[in-house]
Amino acid sequence: MKILKFGGTSVADAANIRRVIDIVKSQSKDNRLVIVVSAFSGVTDLLLTASREAAAKNENYKEISRLIEQKHLDAIRDLIPVNHQSALLSHVKRIINHLDTLFDGCFLLGELSARTSDTIVGFGEILSSSVISEAMKQEDGLRNEAAFKDSRELIKTNRSFGKAAVNFETTNRLISDYFTSAAQRVTVIPGFVASSSDGNNTTLGRGGSDYTAAILAAALHATVLEIWTDVNGMYTANPRLVKQAQPIERISYQEAMELSHFGAKVLYPPTIQPVLNLKIPILIKNTFEPEAVGTRISDENNVQSNPIKGITHIDRIALLTIEGSGIIGVTGFSKRVFEALSNKGINVIFITQASSEHSICIGIQHEDADAARTSVDEAFEIEITQQRIDPCTVEKNLCIVALVGENMKNHQGLSGKMFSTLGKNNVNIRAIAQGASERNISVVINEKDVQKALNTLHERFFEDNIKQLNLFVMGVGNVGEKFMEQISSQKKYLKDNLKINVRLIGVSNSRKMLFDEDGIPLKEWKSLLEHGEKADKETFVERVKALNLRNSVFVDITANEEISKTYAQYLEKNIAVVTCNKIACASGFENYKNLKNLSRKYNAPFLFETNVGAGLPIIDTLKRMIASGDKVNKIQAVLSGSLNFIFNNFNENASFHDVVKEAGVQGFTEPDPKIDLSGVDVARKILILIRESGYEMEINDIENKSFLPQSSLDTDNVPDFFSSLTANAAHFDALYKEAASKDCRLKYVAQFENGKASVGLQVIPKGHDFYNLEGKDNIVLFYTDRYVDQPLIIKGAGAGAAVTASGIFADVIRVGNV
């Protein structure tokens, strides 16, 4: 004997019921079956709504009743041949008439008793089972094999309407007697409904149809209890919140009960109890994918390498805290707390108490919070008045997240991994509970962090430790496009070799912005962005924070000062910042220091390798030297690839104006080349190196020896600036000729020594490390306590979209490796 239970979505309409019939036909060939069915999807809610509307004297209940009737009549007309519909239509109409009589009674009396509510709400299963059993009788292969049996005649309960307790002695006898004499191979039974010993309709409470199936399975010593639903079994996490969640193939009864208690909706804890002692396995299957393996719940030895079976959560939790010196060493204190809650019918979900006994925290449902606080404060009124105990406090908008696994007790360090994983993503833990059996480790966190927490933990324990990085990119010009190309081409390599899964979640240029929580296709971002919403930097920031995704990274590929002012907002929300924008790190020292402090405080990387030298590892090398105890005493550097390109190509055959124009065309200068030529950009770079070396300095402390004429510096737009270069051609030619006459070359040099820094054009003789610096290359010489006579030299391409993009990409990878 096998028991098959089909939930509301499985019997939502005629099309789904046909799927159910196909499953039953297939299984009935080799097995005797009992089919337990729920009400059609949504009908139970409609019955509850209609009864409440009637009791409130709102005649809207009549319309709802017609909707319920129509739903079942439509199913009959779709499933049953016309010449066999008459009897069933009449039967359904009789039930609906009875239902209308009950609604009318509620309307006239203006009340809804628990007894009447049980009778009304149970009609959903009575109606669905009547339709489904008749549909099976009309099906070839089941015509003479299917029958209907009313569960109210088999399952007997007390009179606790709403959640009746089963009289198992009577129930088991009735079930056994009926099926011993029944001849049919398939019996259809309504779930959820039962009756009291005196014949009143009762219901079995939340998950009642599952419970009906379990009661039948235990009474008949079934070989298996199958629960058919709309998912492929129990999952490692809620698949609606964790896209990477996987079905669990095998799980123990105890693990299943833990997951069910903590919100796994495919199964309710009471369901397992009747079959637990008899060791009857439970199989959870998908009506819409019957070939899928599903989840098998049993006491079989399911040894596997991962001790965690699932990660689950309970929403809408409030945390009640009672503390004070009057608690310590007082016998019976906890008893009084729980008694106060019990007297108000408040269910305790979570408990944790400090070993000092100074405080106790209790997790309860959000809606019970105010009543619980009042009850506890009343119970300890004297102690509170005497200031021995503080009035209890309540925190709302919390949830419980739990790791569940039977074998957790045999593995060390799981709690540490859980807490450190949450901590790295700035998920604050409000309370912790762990039983001695270590089957469950629970934490209370803020409700807004639940999706991030579940995904972070699932990534840590179930995804081969693959780290998902969620990118939000601001600025997709020349460098930004190259960055996108590099991500797209390397995405598979990063996942396969570095265990980093990069997703583009948000992107913006100066006109449009686009967000997609499921990821923006890297091959289509440009066309999708064109149809995005209007760009707004503040809205962008708020959207990133509201998504609250784990391992979020804001990537700034602009030179915009206003964008640089948003970094603090990201860092304090545990969102990493990767930037090639030098403005923030070259701003006031207090702002620079604040950003670094926020990065440390909230465990959010703040990386800006491309601020100096584009893709060259200058800042990273400097950080490692300082971390190892070395001290920088002097820095000499050519830090502008654009200026190096300009002075390498400026000669008697090419005007200064034309060379600067060409540098812009090749992407070596900023859109406004005066930023490069004025020395401001180089001053920012050397300032960043000085600060990263451990020195405090402001941009105004750096002497800027400009080679530009004052008329060029005074221009306020790009066309006027280029006109000034032409007008001052003789000035630039004189600079070149002076250097050439000495067989020297012009280089724009930044230097720092003895607490002083400067930037300016210098004449470099042959033999100097800077003399043969070609193209757009940068070079940095670090003189330190360890590198005294011969400096540490870093040299290479220091400008260009591709190398800058690669430097940004390298910083993103560093975030993934944190």
CATH class as words, domain 618-799: alpha beta
pLDDT in tens, 646-664: 999 999 889 999 999 998 8
pLDDT tier for residue 435 given thresholds of 50, 70 and 90:
low
pLDDT in tens, 483-537: 999 999 999 999 999 999 999 999 999 999 999 999 999 999 999 999 999 999 9
**Lowest-confidence range among 219-233, 406-420, 684-698?**
406-420
Asked if residue 268 has pLDDT above 90, the reply is no
Chain centre to alpha carbon of residue 677: 46
Q: CB-hemisphere CA count at 13 Å for 412? A: 0
| pLDDT top residue among 388 and 781 | 781
Cross-sheet strand order for the sheet of 201-203: 156-157, 193-196, 201-203
pLDDT of the residue at 475: 96
Mean pLDDT of the chain: 92
Average pLDDT over residues 353-372: 83
The two three-digit tokens of residue 731, written as one number? 């000035």
pLDDT of the residue at 354: 65
pLDDT tier for residue 671 given thresholds of 50, 70 and 90:
confident
pLDDT of the residue at 387: 87
pLDDT of the residue at 257: 82
Taking the CA atoms of residue 533, residue 537, residue 540 and residue 542 in that order, the dihedral angle to the nearest 10 degrees is: -130
**Lowest-confidence range among 6-20, 39-53, 124-138, 786-800?**
786-800
pLDDT above 90 covers what percent of the chain? 76
pLDDT of the residue at 277: 83
Asked if residue 272 has pLDDT above 80, the reply is no
Average pLDDT over residues 742-748: 94
pLDDT of the residue at 725: 95
Are the beta carbons of 216 and 222 closer than 8 angstroms? yes
Taking the C-alpha atoms of residue 266 and residue 282, their distance in angstroms, rounded to an integer, is: 12
Are the beta carbons of 768 and 755 closer than 8 angstroms? no
Q: CA 204 → CA 164, 191, 220, distances in Å?
A: 5, 9, 19
Chain centre to alpha carbon of residue 765: 59
Taking the C-alpha atoms of residue 706 and residue 678, their distance in angstroms, rounded to an integer, is: 6
pLDDT of the residue at 702: 97
CATH class as words, domain 310-462: alpha beta
Report the 10 Å Cβ neighbour count for 254: 19
| pLDDT top residue among 776 and 5 | 5
pLDDT of the residue at 573: 94
| pLDDT top residue among 254 and 46 | 46
Average pLDDT over residues 140-159: 92
pLDDT of the residue at 106: 95
Report the 10 Å Cβ neighbour count for 334: 16
Are the beta carbons of 407 and 414 closer than 8 angstroms? no
Average pLDDT over residues 204-228: 93
Burial of 251 (0-12, 13-18, 19+ CB in 10 A): buried
pTM of the model: 0.78
Report the 10 Å Cβ neighbour count for 607: 23
Asked if residue 327 has pLDDT above 80, the reply is no
Give domain limits for the chain.
2-229, 310-462, 467-599, 618-799
pLDDT of the residue at 65: 95
Catalytic residue among 71, 309, 685, 776: 685
Whose tokens are 């007008």? That residue is: 727
Taking the C-alpha atoms of residue 21 and residue 18, their distance in angstroms, rounded to an integer, is: 5
| pLDDT top residue among 327 and 771 | 771
Q: Which amino acid is at 614?
A: A
CATH topology of domain 2-229: Carbamate kinase (3.40.1160)
Q: Is 685 a catalytic residue?
A: yes
pLDDT of the residue at 301: 66
pLDDT of the residue at 303: 60
pLDDT of the residue at 262: 67
pLDDT in tens, 30-48: 899 999 999 999 999 999 9
Taking the C-alpha atoms of residue 79 and residue 168, their distance in angstroms, rounded to an integer, is: 36
Partnered with residue 403 across adjacent β-strands are 311, 441
Average pLDDT over residues 294-306: 79
Taking the C-alpha atoms of residue 587 and residue 35, their distance in angstroms, rounded to an integer, is: 72
Are the beta carbons of 427 and 452 closer than 8 angstroms? yes
Asked if residue 436 has pLDDT above 60, the reply is no
Taking the C-alpha atoms of residue 402 and residue 753, their distance in angstroms, rounded to an integer, is: 56
Q: CB-hemisphere CA count at 13 Å for 749? A: 17
pLDDT in tens, 278-298: 999 999 999 999 999 999 999
Asked if residue 408 has pLDDT above 90, the reply is no
Average pLDDT over residues 720-747: 94
Are the beta carbons of 554 and 540 closer than 8 angstroms? no
pLDDT of the residue at 438: 66
CATH of domain 467-599: 3.40.50.720
Pairing of strands 282-286, 224-229: parallel
Pairing of strands 467-474, 606-607: unpaired
